[in-house]
Structures are given as C-alpha cells and as structure tokens.
Amino acid sequence: MANCLTLKKSNCTNCYKCIRYCPVKSIRFSGNQAYIIGNECILCGQCFVVCPQNAKEVSSELEKVKVFIQSGVPVVVSLAPSFVANYDGAGINAMRTAIKKLGFYDVEETAQGATVVKNEYDRMLREDDRDVLISSCCHSVNLLIQKHYPQALEFLADVVSPMQAHCQDIKNRIPQVKTVFIGPCVAKKDEAEHYEGIVDAVLTFEELTNWLKDENIEIIREEEKQDTGKARLFPTTGGILKTMAQNAEGYTYMAIDGVENCKQALRDIIDGKVHKCFIEMSACVGSCVGGPVMEKYHHSSLKDTIAVNNFAGKKDFEVAQPKPDAMKKNFEYIEQRTLKPSEMEIMSILRQMGKFKPSQELNCGSCGYNTCREKAIAIFQGKAEISMCLPYLKDKAESFSDNIVKNSPNGLIVLNDKLEVQQINEAAMKIINIRNARDILGDQVIRVLDPAPFMKVLTTGQQIRNERVYLAEYKRYVDQTIVMDRDSNLIIAIMIDITDEELQRKRKETISRQTVEIADQVVDKQMRIVQEIAYLLGETAAETKIALSKLKESISNE
C-alpha cells in the first residue's frame, strides 16, 4: 500500500495541507515530516494533488513495463476511457498508433470490460436478493469500505472492476500476454498488486505522456466517431448509471462522488436509512475524469465530462459475457490497529494543548483535523504532535516573547512603518514616565520621543547602535539602539537607562576637576613660598658676600 504513494522528505515543509485534505486522516506527522499510513490510506491521491511542494509522488512501474516489452512476450494496454479527457482531441485509433510505437503488442479500451461489469450489475439487481448494491469499480471506495466502514461490506458488489474484467478477457484471448492498465488513478496500482495474476502493471497518464515525449512520439489527433462504446461513459459522474438498463423493479438508482459524500451515504446505509437502491460511488469528485493523475494540473471537470460524452457511442460494445462466478471478487475486512483513548486520556491531551474548557477548543482546522478532540485522539495514536496546533504555538510563542519583553531590564519600544507604537514594555514606560501602555499604544512616537532617529532608520535602513542620548524631558540618559526588521516592517528600539551611571560619571568628573584645582592651588602656593625663601636666601647671601669682601680688604690693607 505504502509503495503506491511515496514521500520526498526533503520537500516536505510541514504545512499540514495533506492531512487537511485527507478524507480519512491516514497521514502521520513525526519529526516535522509527513508519513502515509498504509493500513488506513484509501489511495484517493488527494495528498498528491494538493501538496504545494510536490513532496508526494506516485511510484512508477515504467521500468517493469519496459522489461515486459524487451522480453518479447505480447504486452497489451488496457486504456482507461478517461484518456479522451486527458489527451484533447485524441481518439482510440490515434492513441493505439502512438502507444504501439513504444513496443506494445496492442491497445484496447477498458470500456470493453466496463460493458461486462455493468451487465453483471443489471443481472444482480434482477436476479439476486440484494437490498442495497454499491458499485465496486472504484478501488478507493472499496478500500474506504474495507478499512473504515466494514459494516457496509455486505452491500458492496462482489464483482471485478472494469480494469480486471478487461485484462482477464485479454489473457483469455492471447497466450502468454502481459497486461498493462493506463489511467488516471493511483489506487489501481494497489488493486493490480493485491489481486495478482490479472493486471501485470499499471501506469498513469502522466507516465505515458513522459514516455511518449522521451521517445519523440506525437499523438496525431483525428476525429473519430463510433456508434458502439456506450460504456465509455463510466469515468463520469453517473456514467455507470447511464449505461445500465435501470429497469430493476422497485430500485432507486443514484450516483455519489467525492469521499465525504460517500462517507455520509455509507453511514446512512449502515444505519438502515437506505433500502432498495443501486449506488454508483466514486471517490473522486467528477468520478475518474477528476482522478488525481489527470496529469495533476490538466483537470477541468466540465470540459472533461463533455469530451467523454462526445466520444461515447450510443450502443454497447459487443462482448462475450462471462458467467457470474467468473466475475466474483472477494472483499475482505482490513483491520485497523489504532487504539482508542479513554475520555480521561483525551482530556489530558487537550489540557497539554492548552484546552482547559470547551470554549478554548477553537476547532480551527489549521492542524488538519476537523476538531481539537480529533487532534487529541491522533496525538494519542501517535499520528500527530501537540506542536501541530497553531493557536497553541501562537499562545506559546507570545507567552515566551511576552515574558522576555516584560522582564527585560532594557526598555523596548516597537513601531510600525507609520511610527505608531505597537508594543512597549515596563522598563520603557518607566524611562518615559508612562503608567499604562494603553496611554501610548497606537499613537505616534512623537508624543513621547524625538521621531528623527526612527525616521532615519526607516528611510535609510541604516541601524543605530549604542548611541548615547539625553532625554531632557525625562532627565534621563539612555544608550539607544534602533533597528529595522524588514520582514515584519517593524522598527525596534532598545533603550538602556544609564542615568545613574552617567550621573555617577559626572560626579566623578566634578570631583576630579575639583581635586585638580585644589592641587593647582597648593602647587601655586608652594611655588610662591619657595620663591620667597629663595629671594630671602639670595638677599642674605649678597650682604654676607659684601661684608666678607670688606673684611678681606681690611685685612689685606693692614
């Protein structure tokens, strides 16, 4: 099962889009990666269609088919009737000519097998004692019933699909033949693998298109019209009903497409609200022409339905109708292994998600689940993680950031590109003398601060780092950093209050200046004293010199 759809981990971006669109929630998330749960998947292909990163891919049997051709055995294509919608303007002859150039022995229409199947449906309604009969052409619907609505298995027509009926007929006619079904469906790959010996390989239209392109083979469009081929209507909504006689007495005939509609119908059938009814069920909206591999982007429901209707004939193909026993198909219950949590366990998980009362269960669906309770059950079953809840992550992130902002000793102010205050913390309010954030939130920053540096950052994109600013109105000094977050288009200002530090610095400068002045005064005074002493010493020395000279002169004269 898991081999039909695979995941490219490197492409998965944890967007949860696949789980939102998965009708049976058969996708598990672990380590920020999506994983398909094979035991629950119905292979509707919705995850493949909606994945924005192309992380889901359909497994290919192209090399297997090429080996068949190279082996020399006849390889015959059973071509799904929806081909006329996928290949605009191409009839069966044009498709046969192009495909045979790839080495195939022949190309036939699956609609031949559809004719056999609708004949059996008519017989069952006429001859068998069936209350409600559900068509078994769509393998995804079959899997939906087998895995998720086993109580409805008794109502599922135990008949082979058109693909199987046609390929079995080919094998009966051509010895040693290998059969290859080509169509728009992912589920057919699983059907062929599970019911061995009938269909040897399955390719999608996309694989065929790429193969033809690689071999430079062009499909030559030409107008084709045939009277036979009424069963070519099968791939459209109500197409099976249009081919049937619809003459079983007392029966109502209806067509239902889309998994959600099928699920609702199955619930009504199980509850006994529906009786004496033949129901054509298709998993894809629009039936097979809305298949997941109509080259993914080719799908146009209205145009495709018109193309199929125009190509279909008015009469049935001439086919050899097998005996009813030869068309029997067994549908077994495929058991689910998921555990069901108790109410207490669900409530415990809800509390971990921050859901303490029903009003907190937003059921927003961002995680991919319809309700918070569904998500809690998925967490219990190991299919989901608590972190997948967007409101939970938002509240957690806001709580975390609010704690940082609230408890930061630095003032924080956040402005938008109109210079309007979006957020302010208590430290900033203290700096600019605001008691309540509501007094400034949403107002222009000019009310409380000089807008010039904010405007400079906004217009030039240049950041201001650790600029010392004196806020004269508030008599505070701050170290101011202003940066622009271009992604969110917000301006963030961080202000560190350095008033005490600055005042302390100024006091130290004053003391230092006063100390220097006093030292200068002391030095000046000391220098004056020295000069006075020197003067006095100089005067005394001169008088002594004169006295001694006179004494010397007197002695010499004597």
Which of 264, 261, 213, 255 is closest to 235 using CA atoms? Answer: 255
| pLDDT, position 2 | 43
Using DSSP's 3-state secondary structure scheme, residue 77 falls into strand
**Which helix H or strand E contains 119, and what residues bound it?**
helix 111-127
Ranges of H-type helices in 252-371: 259-270, 301-311, 343-352
Least confident window among 4-13, 114-123, 301-310, 445-454: 4-13
Using DSSP's 3-state secondary structure scheme, residue 201 falls into strand
pLDDT in tens, 16-64: 888 888 999 998 887 778 888 888 999 998 888 888 887 778 889 999 9
> How many angstroms separate the CA atoms of 210 and 552, rounded?
136
Residue position matching structure tokens 């015959």: 76
| pLDDT, position 178 | 97
pLDDT confidence bin for 265, thresholds 50/70/90? very high
Q: In one letter, which amino acid is 487?
A: D
Which of 76, 27, 24 is closest to 55 using CA atoms? Answer: 27
Q: Flag whether pLDDT at 558 surpasses 60.
A: no
Q: Flag whether pLDDT at 480 surpasses 50.
A: yes
- State how beta strands 75-79 and 106-109 pair: parallel
With pLDDT > 70 as the criterion, what percentage of the chain qualifies?
Answer: 92
Q: Over the chain, what is the mean pLDDT?
A: 88
More confident residue, 249 or 516: 249
pTM for this predicted structure: 0.72
| pLDDT, position 314 | 92
Q: 353 near 375, Cβ under 8 Å?
A: yes
> How many angstroms separate the CA atoms of 283 and 185, rounded?
11
> How many angstroms separate the CA atoms of 1 and 3, rounded?
5
Domains of the chain, earliest start first? 1-59 (3.30.70.20), 60-327 (no CATH), 338-406 (1.10.15), 408-497 (3.30.450.20)
Q: Distance between alpha carbon 398 and the CA centroid of its chain, in Å?
A: 23
In sequence order, the β-bridge partners of residue 34 are 29
Q: Flag whether pLDDT at 1 surpasses 50.
A: no
